């Protein structure tokens, strides 16, 4: 039975036991983030140093936060309504400005990046707050708190954009830290109280599908990135092996997340008495680890395809090893929240990666990467075998 809304309300119609579909405009909105992920990958490749890795991780955190906040909003507001659709187009433009500024975010384009980010966060939050005022009083109060938190973080964003060097990074770390702490703290505001996850009446199936689509975006970007590099190289046995290795790692990562975890998690959150709690932990926070892992795997594959033989340097070893490690850790924690246990296959995979780590000093880049991919394939095969055993 459909949930009734007041005339003119912008909320999605909810139907019991029915999954809210992801709209075409939401998929169109996601295209900006294909570009953003590509920009982060290329920036990391060009500046693979301790500072460069820290800055890339920070930029990923900011990009993810823009995207996941918007996914929460379109879980409540109907993207088929023209005002909501226009909001998404505005956010797309601001996301495109952010993505263009991203490679020089810590250089000449800092204010452009920060200005676009703050504008997107505040425009979306204020629009949602106004839209929910009569239709959902609890969430209206929630977005009052969120807007106040975003105003506070926005001051640090803009101050950082006007600063330079370490001061900029420091101010931006404070800004993003405020925003990441917000959901965990219930957006507590003196005089306005704090939000409870039970107030966040998310439609679990929709939000899980949105996050799964972002994983597809990240995997697709990694395929495009390695494919473009491989296309420029001569066809040799070594190059073909490196290319096949890259493809297998992408397939294994897809399998580990989608074969069991994604669908099971969707059913779990849809049946939960407190879907907001699961959405906050499993999707809002933990999925960024998966995306980070995919980006690092893509960077490692790019480095290996470009230089498959010879000595394995430190940055190649870090990317090849840390990518699968982050991805397995993210899946491990995600499945712990949504399934109730730590998958043994993932624990074994992380252990094998730790055992593999010292081998970077003796194995060539391709050999080291083949071993890491073999671990991902093993975990994926273990997942498939586990499912068959349960179905038998």
Split at pLDDT 50, 70, 90, the class of 13 is: confident
pLDDT tens-digit profile of 85-108?
999 999 999 999 999 999 999 999
What integer pLDDT is reported at residue 7 of this predicted model? 39
**pLDDT tens column, 267-301:** 778 777 788 888 889 999 999 999 999 999 999 99
Confidence class for position 314, pLDDT limits 50, 70, 90: very high
Q: 105 or 262: which carries more pLDDT confidence?
A: 105
**Helix residue spans in the chain (DSSP H):** 24-46, 50-76, 82-101, 110-132, 137-162, 165-184, 204-231, 237-256, 262-271, 275-278, 287-306, 314-339, 344-356, 365-391
Which of 82-86, 275-279, 340-344 shows the highest mean pLDDT?
82-86
For the cut 90, the answer to whether the pLDDT of residue 124 exceeds it is yes
**CA–CA dist 230, 26 (Å, integer):** 31
In whole numbers, what is the pLDDT of the chain averaged over residues? 90
Is the pLDDT assigned to residue 112 strictly greater than 70? yes
Q: Could you give the CA distance from residue 147 to residue 140 in angstroms, rounded to a whole number?
A: 11
Tokens matching residue 45 = 């490749």
The share of the chain scoring above pLDDT 90, in percent, equals 72
CB 64 within 8 A of CB 286: no
Q: Does the pLDDT of residue 199 top 80, yes or no?
A: no
């Amino acid at each position: 039975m459909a949930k009734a809304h007041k005339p003119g309300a912008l909320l999605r119609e909810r139907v019991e036991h029915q999954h809210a579909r992801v709209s075409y405009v939401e998929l169109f909105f996601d295209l900006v983030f294909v570009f953003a992920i590509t920009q982060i990958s290329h920036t990391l490749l060009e500046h693979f140093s301790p500072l460069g890795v820290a800055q890339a991780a920070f930029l990923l955190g900011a990009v993810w936060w823009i995207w996941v906040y918007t996914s929460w909003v379109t879980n409540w507001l109907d993207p088929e309504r023209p005002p909501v659709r226009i909001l998404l187009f505005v956010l797309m433009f601001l996301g495109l400005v952010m993505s263009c500024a991203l490679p020089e975010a810590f250089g000449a384009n800092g204010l452009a990046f920060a200005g676009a980010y703050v504008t997107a966060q505040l425009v979306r939050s204020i629009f949602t707050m106004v839209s929910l005022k009569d239709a959902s009083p609890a969430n209206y109060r929630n977005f009052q708190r969120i807007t106040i938190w975003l105003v506070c973080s926005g001051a640090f964003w803009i101050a950082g954009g006007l600063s330079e060097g370490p001061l900029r990074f420091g101010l931006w770390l404070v800004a993003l830290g405020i925003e990441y702490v917000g959901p965990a703290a219930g957006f507590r505001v003196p005089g306005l109280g704090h939000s409870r996850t039970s107030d966040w009446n998310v439609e679990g199936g929709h939000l899980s599908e949105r996050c799964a689509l972002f994983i597809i975006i990240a995997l697709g970007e990694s395929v495009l990135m390695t494919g473009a590099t491989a296309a420029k190289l001569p066809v040799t046995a070594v190059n073909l092996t490196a290319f096949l290795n890259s493809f297998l790692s992408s397939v294994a990562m897809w399998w580990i997340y989608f074969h069991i975890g994604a669908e099971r998690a969707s059913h779990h959150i849809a049946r939960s008495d407190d879907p907001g709690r699961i959405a906050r932990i499993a999707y809002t926070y933990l999925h960024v680890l998966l995306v980070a892992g995919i980006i690092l795997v893509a960077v490692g594959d790019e480095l290996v395809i470009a230089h498959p033989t010879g000595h394995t340097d430190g940055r190649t070893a870090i990317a090849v090893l840390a990518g699968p490690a982050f991805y397995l850790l993210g899946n491990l924690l995600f499945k712990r929240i949504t399934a109730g246990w730590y998958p043994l296959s993932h624990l074994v995979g992380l252990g094998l990666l730790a055992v593999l780590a010292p081998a970077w000093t003796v194995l060539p880049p391709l050999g080291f990467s083949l071993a890491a991919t073999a671990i991902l394939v093993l975990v994926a095969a273990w997942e498939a075998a586990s499912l068959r055993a349960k179905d038998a």
